[in-house]
Structure 1
């Protein structure tokens, strides 16, 4: 079963793009959003001949403000809603906008942003009169929206406690108790539906503008969901939970050379046998929802679709886990019948075994190559460009990596020697050669984090795995950009055949 490669939403020709999560955009509201700067950003990508804009998951953030620890696999991150767009809709006044305090431009103070934006959102909600479009949205999305809105209301009523600490009738979803909350708290339930309606309407405008400028959106779906999520609360049968909602086994990865204890992530693991009985309906709905928002989806932790590491609940490390088979190719075959097209990128980094490689071949999905991982001195390193398959996406780094300049500066001298030897560069021109190497690689698609386009050091890193604070907060400002930076990207995109519509300049 091979994935279809036809259509504009697929990585079927040599192309290039930039990674930047929307929260990193400039704005006047302490966080990037779907306001004027998002449209200006798309114009920048188009002018630089970039075909793709890659983002992290667009859902609400959870622990540590991470988009990979979301309270819902289906909802959108309402902090991305633009107050300016709400003003244009007549839902906010100029005075409301002016009341927003000055927040840092270079980073996201998530707590302050949430407080201040929600203050404006509640004003907008009070002025909103339900429209036919709103009613149609609520009806079309009821399969997830009703549960999500109720989940958020109950969570607020319970002082923010995780769902598995709620009173029995709420935790275990007693129908009468839930109906009672929904009736008494109808205004609050409607508020959360209003926010999701606005999120979708504003994002659709951004996405349409991107398509008008020949820019596609690459999104992301985490493999696991957070334990404290509407997903686990509303569909406990999908996960290894007992009849009280307690986890039976936990997610993680086994011990390796770098960690004697492995990594204990703690997400509930899937009951794939239960999911399969419904023709994988839960996953189909989740992916269909994401594909409504983006054109291409990166499947995080792709190896989990072949087998996953499950650790007994109560364990303090991941040592005592076992490999558990997942449905693999059968899952994607069923998805192909229901979704018709599978525009996916497989995140195949980390511990990749023969069964995962076989699954990648069977699906035909492009995998990932990360240039920062290429320089261990081994000639068969799979991330060295001469070992990269054309059917792959090459990155200088990902959202979890240091910036390339920061990475290079952090290397020991012998590793920098290997990089300089391979690139034929000095310290001064490292980044230029590194970018050129990525764009020139055989991989059909090249994605560069915007920090690398700007040549920024490690202080501008977006996320450092294993650390709890200071992540997911970086933002750029327009004054950081110099025209030569964009011209370099535009030139390398053209010279290395990633913009077939443009004639290559003479060298």
Structure 2
């Protein structure tokens, strides 16, 4: 197996989910989240001007109502809330007049109002592709639907049936639909065709805008870095359409659920509620479900992180009836067989292993056997333990260093919550009298780790009000956004200077320094 070339260069990047971008429609109407439109392209230009060559994001699938990117309706679909309606207008798919009556009533839209606008945009889109000017677009649309049918058909019907059942989980649908009776599904497809067409339009719009964004990234030599949640949501098209791939009872209820034991983030652990995979079934067909999933991600991203990688070696199995994660146990998973199958199929895989938390020698042996970079987080590196692997003096070049991740406080917020003794110890380690966000950024950039990723919040020196997520909680997460006025005029130049002096402009390293697998 051959490691991806990007892991053999010194690079730097920025962590920012697209929902955190600014977003408005023509006339200044503010949207409830960022999207794949003009501001996303502008952010790539900002990265290039800053000397940053990697844009890391969170998962981009359609989210549940809590908007966590790690609980999605589909492992394949894109989040329609990331579709930029202004781009559809600019491309000529719809006209401004279609949306204007609704936009005139509000200067800031809710997610519900944005969904209503997508319905209007869908109607206009189907009308347009039936015209002479829309013929070429119609052919592209039909080609997309045909090429993606292996997931799009089930996903579109899933959304339509969920709407028909008042938003209820598929586990609460009437039995013929819940258990996928062929006759019931055929009748539903005919009856809910309009809602199915809505989903087809939204996915076509998402993937068309994604390809445009990716083209800009290619032109500016910016690598897109994605994220795969290791597990999928119970209430998802994946589990409904492929129940045999998961550990469920005859009624579709999970036998056990996923999570993690008590750790740094939570005294009771984390109870995610995701069903576990039926690994014996997956292994019997050479992990075809995973191959399709990885192929879809590689079509979007240049490199991908597997969240909770340790679950490929052993996963925390919680009884389905448990209220928290403390009653779980570790169960071995066929991670080696899975990765062998994936590398046999794709040859080179630009995968990063999220190896934070309780990591055993077996997990690290699995990661290193496939030459997969792991993660190092500076906020975890200064606990007074001289053997801490997150302390810079123990860094290994193959791994990726972060000041913090989406699950951490911002670096400024973290520093403000340290005790006086902790601040003194940190300053002593770094050889300074006062530690700042930029001081930690320089520590990451100057390290031997080949790739350094800095959250935008840290570049902007924002406090804990800009935190993206607090693990183990469900309120006030995933909402943070920035505005271009938040960026100092000299920020790109300052970042470029730091990236340059620490040799992170993407220069190829000598072959002798390249990443290789360990036996």
Q: What TM-score bracket applies, with the shorter chain setting the length?
A: over 0.9
Contact 1:275 1:281 in 2 (8 A): yes
Mapping 1:105-116, distance limit 5 Å: 110-116=111-117
Taking the aligned partners of 1:410 and 1:242, their CA distance within structure 2 comes to 46
The answer on 1:176 being equivalent to 2:178 is no
Per the TM alignment, residue 436 of structure 1 is displaced from its structure 2 partner at its CA by: 0.6
The answer on 1:327 being equivalent to 2:334 is yes
Residue deviations 1:135-154, cap 9 Å, x none? 11111111100000000000
Aligned to 1:462: 468
Contact 2:9 2:507 in 1 (8 A): no
Mapping 1:121-136, distance limit 5 Å: 121-129=122-130, 131-136=138-143
Contact 1:406 1:458 in 2 (8 A): yes
Aligned to 1:210: 217
Residue deviations 1:184-207, cap 9 Å, x none? 222221221111111111100000
Which of 7, 13, 24 is the aligned partner of 2:9?
13
Residue deviations 1:146-202, cap 9 Å, x none? 000000000000000000010000100001000001012222212211111111111
Change (3 A) 1:23 1:439: same
Change (3 A) 1:46 1:161: same
Aligned to 1:239: 246
Mapping 1:16-55, distance limit 5 Å: 16-28=12-24, 29-55=31-57
Point out the more displaced range, 188-197 or 207-216.
188-197
The answer on 1:309 being equivalent to 2:341 is no
Q: Secondary structure at the match of 1:352?
A: coil
For structure 2, list consecutive stretches of 5 or more residues without a partner in the other structure.
25-30, 131-136, 509-519
Change (3 A) 1:408 1:102: farther
Contact 2:438 2:459 in 1 (8 A): no
The answer on 1:430 being equivalent to 2:436 is yes
Change (3 A) 1:65 1:6: closer
Per the TM alignment, residue 113 of structure 1 is displaced from its structure 2 partner at its CA by: 3.8
Q: What is the RMSD computed on CA atoms of the aligned residues?
A: 1.9
The answer on 1:164 being equivalent to 2:175 is no
Residue deviations 1:314-354, cap 9 Å, x none? 12232332221111222111111112221000000001011
Which of 458, 477, 489 is the aligned partner of 1:452?
458
Per the TM alignment, residue 255 of structure 1 is displaced from its structure 2 partner at its CA by: 4.0
Point out the more displaced range, 356-365 or 93-102.
93-102
Q: Secondary structure at the match of 1:131?
A: helix
Aligned to 2:512: none
Aligned to 1:67: 69
Aligned to 1:294: 301
Taking the aligned partners of 1:97 and 1:213, their CA distance within structure 2 comes to 33
Taking the aligned partners of 1:61 and 1:448, their CA distance within structure 2 comes to 25
Contact 1:370 1:396 in 2 (8 A): yes
Taking the aligned partners of 1:109 and 1:305, their CA distance within structure 2 comes to 38
Aligned to 1:150: 157
Taking the aligned partners of 1:380 and 1:113, their CA distance within structure 2 comes to 50
Corresponding pairs, count: 494
Q: Secondary structure at the match of 1:65?
A: coil
Change (3 A) 1:258 1:142: closer
Q: Secondary structure at the match of 2:7?
A: coil
Per the TM alignment, residue 433 of structure 1 is displaced from its structure 2 partner at its CA by: 1.3
Q: Secondary structure at the match of 2:208?
A: helix
Q: Secondary structure at the match of 1:18?
A: strand
Taking the aligned partners of 1:389 and 1:46, their CA distance within structure 2 comes to 27
Change (3 A) 1:240 1:342: same
Aligned to 1:413: 420
For structure 1, list consecutive stretches of 5 or more residues without a partner in the other structure.
503-507
Point out the more displaced range, 119-128 or 371-380.
119-128
Q: TM-score, normalised by structure 2?
A: 0.91
Contact 2:256 2:276 in 1 (8 A): yes
